[in-house]
């Protein structure tokens, strides 16, 4: 057989060979580094025997799939260590993930001391260098095998497989786990690992199931790589919006109010208010007209739109259909409300496009396990809009929505942090959607064309569309690597029919319009969380809830400090003054810790010359400057929404 290697060279063998045997034949060094193989593009175990011509790549830790096999083996070592220390623990699942691996156990939760104890046991297992042996069993024998080992979660997983399935296991010493692989040949190559944390996780991600104990870990081939990752985790902790946002008094939560219902504090409100005014002004420049619609509606409205059938579980319903004459629901979206604004008068083809914008407060009944800080909540506010357009206007208006979204991302300084996704329908589950296949395929093709014309790189994802149309989702990851949708632009060729919306064309005929559902910046709460983590709290000056703090050297200069403060405020600058009887060094340190971008220190010399001594997060001590000169400079920075380069560098050091 002929084996074509990654570099194009060909190896010939007269008998079947395992992937590991071929790696050893190429070089001992490659064999030592090997984690898995790729045969004709499919990841396989090193134990896989090849018996015909194929293309083969030996995967190491440098390859994503090789890294996954390495870390998956570490998760088995974790499971064995837990079973040795806590024999009563039941095994659930333990996959590799982007940052390492985790394993779920049915047992009591683990403290940090418990994790340290498990780590020590893992080191013993690795030192023994146990070989991993793969074997298979027919489904019924596999069920019996795991029942005898009293592993009910494994039994459940096997029962979900087809009756004719052959089930694979991996054995390392006395420990055996249900697993498809691939895995390393032994535990010995695992050089550097760490158990990061322990938390709760519902079995199979369903809150109706039992809460299990999940242990997160990571593993590397070099200690210095592990150290770099652990240092990165420390930085993440400093940036986590859930922690930093509370420390900065931007928001808080209270148990008696409810999960997913954050309280925005004055500083957080200031940031969101600044963004809201900016967005509303920008939309007005782009031809949007504003609406203000109710926070709830009768179920009748949602039945017309289809949300009652397709989205009811995600809504807060007020009343009982069997008992009450009228049942209401808090709105999860604004679109059907704005449709009735459109329908309030007859429209001509000359009236289109109509661009409706609304700063909308919405309500969605998120599962408790999904909620986190400001990124996923039950009440939130978005920069929502709906464009009612003629079919021939659709492509250009869709481009306009993308242009607005990209402008917002660019202004916030996060344009480089996002990816674009075409979220499509799933034709294999067509009952989840309205409309026929031809409409879906046409609209998806037109979105592709728009994205290509704008030269925006994007991926495609089946099953992520709304029930009434495909969309472009603009995605970003939080500091922990979890991806969220920040901005959505949806193509809707169907709901106008549901609501009997039409316009009169040039021939006097009634024609159905198309609709674009879009956000310009998305959810304000989620965007605030994103910005907290992006800038580690060191927001661009135009967004800061406090842009300048005036610091008198002593009480004697309070009058001048207040005069400076008033001039700042008269120019629309968010400023405060610190009149406490504290030493100036203390005031400066505290102001820096509270992440205020500018400090104006005033004393005798400053008052005499009608100047200020400027200190900034950008250049440190900038010396004395005329107050009017400083005001002109900061007003320009705020007006242009400048993100100073040095700010990014300072942020990285903080």
DSSP assigned state of 222: S
Alpha helices in 35-63 (DSSP H): none
Contacts with 266 (C-beta within 8 Å, 6 or more apart), sequence order: 249, 545
Alpha-carbon distances of 546 from 252, 274, 290, 651, rounded to whole Å: 19, 12, 29, 17
Phi, psi of 180 (to 5 degrees): -90, -15
Query: Measured between alpha carbons, how far is 635 from 574 in angstroms, rounded to an integer?
Result: 11
Query: Measured between alpha carbons, how far is 139 from 167 in angstroms, rounded to an integer?
Result: 6
Angle between helices 266-285 and 524-535 (to 10 degrees): 110
Is the pLDDT at 359 greater than 90? The verdict is yes
At 423, the pLDDT band (50, 70, 90 cuts) reads very high
Cis peptide before 591 (omega within 30 of 0): no
* Total residues found in the chain within this entry: 654
Cα distance from N-terminal residue to C-terminal residue, the chain: 58
Q: What is the DSSP string of 361-391?
A: EEE----GGG-BTTTB-SEEEEEEEEEEE-G
Residue 353: closest CA among 383, 395, 404, 382: 395
- Cα angle 624, 627, 632; round to 5: 115
Query: Measured between alpha carbons, how far is 435 from 491 in angstroms, rounded to an integer?
Result: 13
Query: Measured between alpha carbons, how far is 474 from 479 in angstroms, rounded to an integer?
Result: 17
CB environment 589-615: b (16+ within 10 A), e (fewer): eebeeebbbbbbbbbeebbeeebbbbb
User: What count of other Cβ atoms lies within 10 Å of the Cβ of residue 213?
Assistant: 21
Query: Measured between alpha carbons, how far is 583 from 593 in angstroms, rounded to an integer?
Result: 16
- Model pLDDT, residue 148: 95
Cis peptide before 475 (omega within 30 of 0): no
Query: Measured between alpha carbons, how far is 31 from 21 in angstroms, rounded to an integer?
Result: 8
Q: What is the DSSP string of 140-194?
A: HHHHHHHHHTT-HHHHHHHHTS-TTPEEEEEEETTEEEE------SBSTT--EEE
Task: Write the pLDDT tens digit of every residue in 20-68.
Answer: 999 999 999 999 999 999 999 999 999 999 999 999 999 999 999 999 9
- Model pLDDT, residue 371: 80
Task: Write the pLDDT tens digit of every residue in 70-102.
Answer: 999 999 999 999 999 999 999 999 999 989 999
Q: What is the percentage of the chain residues whose pLDDT exceeds 70?
A: 98
Task: Write the pLDDT tens digit of every residue in 101-147.
Answer: 999 999 999 999 999 999 999 999 999 999 999 999 999 999 999 99
In this structure, of 142-146, 426-430, 612-616, the range with the lowest mean pLDDT score is 426-430
- Model pLDDT, residue 650: 43
User: What count of other Cβ atoms lies within 10 Å of the Cβ of residue 36?
Assistant: 26
At 646, the pLDDT band (50, 70, 90 cuts) reads low
Query: Measured between alpha carbons, how far is 225 from 585 in angstroms, rounded to an integer?
Result: 39
């Amino acid at each position: 057989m002929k084996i074509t290697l990654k570099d194009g060279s060909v190896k010939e063998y007269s008998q079947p060979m395992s992937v590991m045997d071929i790696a050893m034949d190429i070089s001992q060094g490659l064999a030592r580094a090997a984690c898995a193989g790729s045969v004709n593009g499919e990841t396989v175990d090193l134990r896989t025997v090849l018996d015909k011509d194929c293309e083969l790549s030996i995967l190491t830790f440098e390859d994503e799939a090789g890294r996954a096999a390495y870390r998956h083996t570490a998760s088995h070592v974790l499971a064995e260590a837990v079973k040795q220390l806590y024999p009563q623990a039941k095994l659930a699942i333990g996959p590799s993930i982007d940052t390492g691996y985790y394993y779920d156990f049915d047992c009591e939760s683990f403290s940090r001391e418990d994790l340290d104890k498990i780590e020590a046991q893992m080191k013993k297992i690795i030192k023994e260098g146990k070989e991993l042996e793969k074997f298979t069993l027919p489904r019924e024998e596999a069920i019996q095998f795991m029942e005898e080992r009293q592993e009910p979660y494994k039994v459940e997983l096997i029962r979900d497989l087809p009756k004719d399935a052959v089930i694979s296991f991996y054995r390392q010493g006395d420990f055996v786990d249900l697993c498809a692989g691939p895995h390393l040949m032994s535990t010995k190559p695992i050089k550097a690992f760490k158990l990061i944390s322990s938390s709760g996780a519902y079995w199979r991600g369903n809150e109706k199931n039992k809460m299990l104990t999940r242990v997160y870990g990571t593993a590397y081939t070099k200690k210095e790589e592990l150290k770099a990752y652990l240092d990165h985790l420390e930085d993440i902790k400093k940036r986590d919006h859930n922690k930093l946002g509370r420390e900065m008094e931007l928001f808080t939560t209270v148990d008696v109010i409810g999960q997913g219902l954050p309280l925005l504090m004055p500083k957080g409100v200031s940031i969101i208010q600044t963004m809201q005014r900016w967005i509303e002004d920008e939309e007005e420049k782009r031809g949007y007209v504003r609406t203000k619609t109710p926070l709830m509606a009768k179920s009748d409205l949602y039945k017309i739109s289809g949300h009652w059938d397709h989205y009811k579980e995600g809504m807060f319903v007020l009343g009982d259909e069997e008992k009450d004459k009228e049942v209401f629901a808090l709105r999860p979206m604004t679109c059907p409300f704005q449709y009735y604004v459109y329908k309030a008068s007859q429209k001509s083809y000359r009236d289109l496009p109509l661009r409706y914008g609304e700063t909308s407060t919405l309500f969605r009944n998120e599962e408790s396990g999904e909620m986190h800080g400001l990124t996923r909540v039950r009440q939130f506010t978005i920069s929502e809009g709906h464009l009612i357009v003629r079919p021939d206007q659709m492509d250009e208006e869709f481009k306009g929505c993308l242009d607005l979204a990209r402008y917002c991302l660019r202004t916030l300084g996060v344009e480089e942090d996002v990816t674009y996704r075409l979220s499509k329908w799933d034709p294999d589950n067509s009952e989840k959607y309205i409309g026929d296949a031809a409409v879906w395929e046409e609209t998806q093709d037109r979105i592709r064309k728009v994205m290509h014309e704008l030269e925006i790189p994007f991926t495609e994802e089946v099953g992520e569309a709304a029930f009434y149309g495909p969309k472009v989702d603009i995605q970003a990851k939080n500091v922990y690597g979890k991806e969220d949708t920040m901005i959505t632009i949806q193509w809707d060729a169907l709901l106008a029919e549901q609501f009997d919306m039409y316009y009169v064309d040039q021939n006097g005929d009634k024609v159905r319009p198309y609709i674009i559902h879009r956000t310009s910046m998305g959810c304000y709460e989620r965007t605030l969380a994103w910005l907290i983590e992006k800038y580690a709290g060191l927001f661009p000056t135009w967004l800061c809830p406090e842009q300048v703090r005036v610091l008198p050297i002593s009480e004697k200069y309070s009058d001048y400090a207040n005069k400076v403060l008033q001039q700042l405020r008269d120019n629309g600058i968010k400023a405060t003054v610190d009149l406490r009887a504290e030493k100036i060094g203390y005031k400066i340190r505290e102001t820096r810790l509270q992440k205020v971008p500018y400090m104006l220190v005033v004393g005798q010399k400053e008052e005499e010359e009608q100047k200020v001594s400027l200190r900034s997060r950008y250049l440190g001590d900038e010396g004395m400057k005329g107050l009017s000169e400083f005001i002109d400079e900061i007003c320009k920075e705020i007006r242009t929404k400048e993100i100073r380069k040095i700010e990014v560098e300072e942020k990285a050091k903080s």
